Structures are given as structure tokens and as C-alpha cells.
Amino acid sequence: MSIRKVVKYGEPSLRETSKEVHKVSQKIKNLVADLLDTMYAQNGVGLAAPQIGENYRVFVIDVSTGDEPLNPMVFINPKIIKKSGAVISHEGCLSFPEAFTDVKRYANVMVKALDRHGRSFVLEAKDGTLLARAIQHEFDHLDGILFIDHVINRFEAEEVLKKCNLPSIELDKILDEPKLSEEIDILLKEKTEKND
């Protein structure tokens, strides 16, 4: 279809909650095609509708690498129905050009959604794989949550944003995730002990 402009961090639309899709109409199919075209043009792993200024509960992901054939996955009205474990994820976002920082994620997720034909499916992604992390990252976009809201080291992230000429972290948006933080602390402690 067409390559769309990716909305940058600081645009209010990235903080809005997206609307449910009531029918997988031609409009939604065109939106999916635009999301895929834009994601591939930007060498992205995932892209959510709010990132191209469309506040619908739709995102796309493709975690294929190297010589693997493209494997586009479409998620319409996704719901995360199970999550467990913890992982430190080094993430970036097409709405944050060149900015990468460590964030907290669940290691395992199960998601239920509709595909591009309106058929329901359930997908499980485990062990902190790129797919597991990408599902959470793109799902967050639908609720106006950004990857920096899960930041591990706020000061480090601030430096990265400053270097990339992006707005500062919105402190009131940083998520309080006690269970996840607890598991991340254990991971960090194990990592430190291993390096000693």
C-alpha cells in the first residue's frame, strides 16, 4: 500500500489509548498493509497503528532475521492473557530514532488476537525471545505506554534521549511494576555475582 510517516516521541497521539476494531474492514486491511510497508521500509521489528497516527488496536511484527523469509504477523484487538518471568530487554523504537535503553519485560507472554482476516488466534512467546518482547512493546503502544515507561536506569535513559534530541522521560508515566522489578533485581544480582 504505502509507507507512512512514523510519529516521533513527544507527539500527543503516542500517549492516547487506541480504539477497538469492530470489523476487519477494507480500511483496517489497508492500515495493516501500510503498517507492514512502513515497518519494512524502516527495518523495524514491529509497528503499532498509533505510531503512524492511527489510534486503532492493531500492530504488526516480523522477527525474521538474515536470510529467513519474511514472516509478517498481524495482531488486531490483542489481549495479553498470561505473562510470567522477567527479562532485561535492550530496546529501541521507531518513534525514538537511534535511542536504545534497558527496560523491564516479562519473559513469557500469551496473546490472543485477530489476524488480518478477522480470525481469532492465540500465540505464546517464551524465554524472553525477541517475539515475546516485541509483543509487549507493541501492545503497550495501544494503551499509550512507551518502552521508556519500563526503564531500569532512568538517568542512563535520560542521557540517551538527550543525545538523540528527544524530549525527557515523563516521570509520571514511569510504571510501578513491583513484581517485575523484584524479579529484575534478582537477575541483576545473579549477573553481578557471575561477573565477580
Which candidate in 138, 170, 182, 190 is catalytic? 138
End-to-end CA separation in angstroms for the chain: 53
Phi-psi region of 158 (alpha: psi -120 to 50; beta: other; left: phi over 0): alpha
120, with CB counted inside 10 A (0-12, 13-18, 19+), is exposed
Helix and strand totals (H; E) in the chain: 4, 7
* Residue 109 in grid coordinates: 507472554
Residue 182 bears catalytic tag: no
Catalytic positions, please?
138
